[in-house]
Amino acid sequence: MTETLELRLYRREHCGLCQLAEAVLDEVGVTAQAHYLEDEAELEDRYGWRIPVIQRGDNGEELDWPFDAWKLRKFLGA
């Protein structure tokens, strides 16, 4: 299931909440491709201070912070 699911993590550099989100991803045993808002103006416009946000690659659904392992598993369909 999650082995083939592409996930994106929209985040900022030096973001404590983003580090917590990565810890939740680790706890669940999934990885996400990090996309830094500082690198792309389009991402800055879209997400602003709404980060961290996890996005599914298959359907574009997004999970905003705060989330824990239970919420992430539910989001992933586990």
Instruction: Tell me the per-residue pLDDT of 8-63, one tens digit each, with 9 for 90 and over.
Output: 999 999 999 999 999 999 999 999 999 999 999 999 999 998 999 999 999 999 99
Q: Residue 1 pLDDT > 60, yes or no?
A: no
For residue 29, what are the contacts with CB-CB under 8 A and spacing of at least 6?
Answer: 2
Q: What is the enclosing helix (H) or strand (E) of 35?
A: strand 33-36
Predicted TM-score (pTM) of this structure:
0.90
Task: Provide the residue ranges of all domains of the chain, joining segments of one domain with +.
Answer: 7-76
Q: Which CATH number fits domain 7-76: 3.30.420.40, 1.10.260.40, 3.40.30.10, 3.40.50.410?
A: 3.40.30.10
